Each structure stands twice: as structure tokens, then as C-alpha cells.
Structure 1
Amino acid sequence: MRKSLRINHHPLLGEMDKKVISFTYNGEKLQGLEGEPIAVALLANHIRILRRHEESGSARGLYCGIGHCMECRVELLGKGQVRACLTPLKEGMEIREGSRLPNAITGRVDS
């Protein structure tokens, strides 16, 4: 298992002492800190690709980090598509790579 990219001690913010919880991403069991944004938990677990571009299929990940761009959308079981940068992580969440949205003209999901 790879070492977490998480900062556990910050010189100004001090200790990061939130509760460690479990969640899954694409079926893989991972750990994160309760209440942190889903995007942060995924980045700490070396996950950079959150979805694929609708037309080109190129990898997409965290971009603006403040909820404006929708690049970080993922599928959250029971909730549909959510922005990973704004959605707090909770125990037992089942998250999947974001699906492609339908083409605005054809209404189909292009492959």
C-alpha cells in the first residue's frame, strides 16, 4: 500500500486530528478524514482522475477546488453526481468515477 500524501501536522494549523473513516472509490476500500472534501481524501490516496471528458475521454480531476467548474464531479451512491471539492466525506460512502454527461445536442452519452 502506498504512503498517504496527507499532511498530518501543519506549522500554523497544528495537528490534523479528525476521525479516520472508511469509504470506497470504484470498489476499492480507502480511508479518509471525516468531513474533509471527497477530493482531498482521493488526492491523499493518490487518486487524481475523477472522471473523463465527454467528447475526448481525457482524464479530468480537481481543477478550481471551490465548486465553480464541475470538473471534479463523481458519482455518489444514493445521491448521483456531486462535486468532490464541496462534498464532505462520511463513513461508508460509495463513490465511483464520474460518468459522462449526455451530449447536449444528441442526448446520448458518447463513447
Structure 2
Amino acid sequence: MSKFSFFKTSMPKSRKADYHLGCLDGSVFMDFNLSKDKRIYLKRISFDGYGCCELGTSHKLDKEGSKEFVTMIGKELLDQEAIEIFLKKIIKMNEEEIWKDALKEYELIEK
């Protein structure tokens, strides 16, 4: 079982995105969009104690990975391990755009 306890959530209209996930008892929230070419990308990530990090440029998952992600998000119960693998992958792809100290503190990248 993943220590992150990912959950689907919603956000206010001012925080628009196609998919919203939270984890770590609501200490971290991630917003994802599906691009016109059907690829998932991380739009923003917020951390308790750090604020909201809006990504300027976001690297997208490939089409196959994006399709898997959308399928997983669409299920009633999230496969915690699978979601963790995808999220760590997309965070690693975009780590230069995200606050490294926050990623380390919340263990979303290797220390």
C-alpha cells in the first residue's frame, strides 16, 4: 500500500484543471490537464508550508502512459501503487519546474 494515500478531489473554479489529486492527508494537491493531443501534463502542484507552484512549461506523459493514467483516474478506487509510479514519473520529468525542497520534504523525489 502506498504511504501517500492518493485521492481524487475537486478544486474551486479559480483552479481549473481536468484532474485533481491529493495525497498525504491533503498536504499535497496536484492538478493535471489533458492536452489536445491526448497527453497528460502536470499543471500545478501545491504543498502545505510552500504554497502553489504553477508550472510554466510541463513535460507530458507519452500517449500510452496518458491513456493509462486517464483510465486509472476514472476508476472508483485508485490503484495506489500504480498512481504513485505515474506521479513520481511525471514529477521527475518536471522537477526543474517544481520546488526541490518541497519535493524532498514530502518524499515525492529521492532525497
What TM-score range do you get, normalising by the shorter chain? under 0.3
What TM-score results when the alignment is normalised by the length of structure 2?
Answer: 0.24
What TM-score results when the alignment is normalised by the length of structure 1?
Answer: 0.24
